[in-house]
């Protein structure tokens, strides 16, 4: 039996295989008025195709817990009930195809209010339908980016409440997995890293203080997310600063990630989705096939928290080896699933596994 096509159970949810779809923003939601943040036919077709292709778990893209938490005006949102109704249509179809639907709830922090990538991705100022971002500290992400508002303690508590409210809506929308986005230089990641968090109160300074906001979000989400359903946390295992001796900037490290994984487990997180980077502009990142897998493997080896690996995983044999070697419990595919929505079915054929096949496709099997 191929390890890649063994079912995987977390709490009461059994995911039919270990081929999972990583969250990837589509920047295709409604942008204003009652349609703001609402999923469109593009989202339905996009996710439905991967479910029909045999993907075991589909994690919807970063879905904002508030309007100002969007990366761009065209991001998905989950701060009102109109958005829930559109998402329910997607989750219903995914379940019907045998896939488990999950959603990544997110706040973009100081990286908010930017244009769609195909329009340059630059910052959008209020006069261009943008808004002032918020952050742990009044530090812009990079040169030319907007100066964020430094969150007050009261505002931090309000954001925690927004994550909890989004989680309730995720349940109403039919999701079976919630993932908290704590990676890639967005708000939670900004609090974790000393590179972006220069606060001197209880949310800054020490590791414990910088971790406080993330754990408060986890606790608030876990309190309203049913006990029988799994909770994921996505992390950037490193800012890629300490890996480069010539870069003197201080950031979040792989050692921090291992330490934090134990905290997440104690607070009710069921799996760590291990990515890297995104918080420090111009960090030197050494890429290649599976370049982020060693970070996931270290968490798996040194803690009891299950992990999923991501990052240039493209080949069925490569994915199988990651699992067979015990480096991760599942693999998350990104761009490869954009290129080939039926990657899971093709990999199953190659490795001798099985995936659910729509009746309409039986003649192709």
Tell me which residues are annotated as active site: 186
Helix (H, G, I), strand (E, B) or coil at 179: strand
Q: Tell me which DSSP letter residue 46 carries.
A: H
Rounded Cα distance, 111 and 268, in Å: 28
The answer for residues whose C-beta is within 8 angstroms of residue 128's C-beta and 6 or more apart is none
Q: What are phi and psi of 352, to 5 degrees?
A: 80, 25
Strand partners, 8: 15
R_g of the chain computed on alpha carbons: 19
- Taking residue 11's Cβ as centre, other Cβ atoms within 10 Å add up to 14
Tokens standing for 219?
Answer: 């606790």
Helix (H, G, I), strand (E, B) or coil at 169: helix
- Taking residue 73's Cβ as centre, other Cβ atoms within 10 Å add up to 23
Rounded Cα distance, 196 and 109, in Å: 11
Helices (H), 66-152: 81-96
Tokens standing for 216?
Answer: 């408060």
């Amino acid at each position: 039996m191929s390890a890649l096509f063994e079912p995987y159970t977390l709490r009461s949810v059994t995911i039919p295989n270990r081929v999972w779809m990583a969250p990837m923003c589509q920047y295709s939601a409604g942008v204003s008025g009652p349609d703001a943040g609402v999923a469109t036919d593009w989202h339905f077709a996009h996710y439905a195709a991967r479910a029909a292709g045999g993907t075991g778990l589909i994690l919807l893209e970063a879905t904002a817990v508030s309007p100002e938490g969007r990366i761009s005006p065209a991001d998905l949102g989950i701060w009102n009930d109109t958005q829930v109704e559109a998402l329910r249509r997607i989750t219903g179809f995914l379940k019907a195809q045998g896939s488990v639907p999950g959603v990544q709830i997110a706040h973009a922090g100081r990286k908010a209010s930017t244009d769609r990538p195909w329009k340059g991705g630059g910052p959008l100022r209020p006069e261009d339908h943008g808004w002032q971002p918020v952050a742990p500290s009044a530090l812009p992400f990079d040169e030319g980016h907007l100066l964020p508002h430094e969150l007050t303690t009261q505002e931090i508590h309000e954001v925690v409440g927004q994550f909890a409210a989004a989680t309730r809506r995720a349940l109403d929308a039919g999701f079976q997995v919630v993932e908290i986005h704590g990676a890639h230089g967005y708000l939670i990641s900004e609090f974790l890293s000393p590179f972006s968090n220069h606060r001197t109160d209880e949310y800054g300074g020490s590791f414990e203080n910088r971790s406080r906001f993330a754990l408060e979000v986890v606790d608030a989400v876990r309190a309203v997310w049913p006990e029988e359903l799994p909770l994921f946390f996505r992390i950037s295992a490193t800012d890629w600063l300490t890996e480069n001796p010539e870069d003197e900037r201080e950031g979040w490290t792989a050692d921090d990630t291992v330490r934090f994984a134990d905290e997440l487990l104690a607070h009710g997180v069921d799996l760590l989705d291990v990515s890297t980077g995104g918080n420090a502009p111009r960090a030197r990142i050494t890429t290649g096939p599976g370049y982020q897998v060693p970070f996931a493997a270290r968490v798996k080896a040194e803690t009891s928290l299950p992990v999923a690996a991501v990052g240039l995983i493209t080949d069925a044999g490569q994915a199988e080896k990651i699992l067979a070697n015990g480096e991760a419990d599942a693999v998350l595919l990104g761009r490869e699933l954009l290129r080939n929505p039926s990657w899971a079915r093709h990999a199953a054929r190659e490795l001798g596994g099985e995936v659910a096949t729509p009746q309409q496709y039986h003649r192709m099997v």
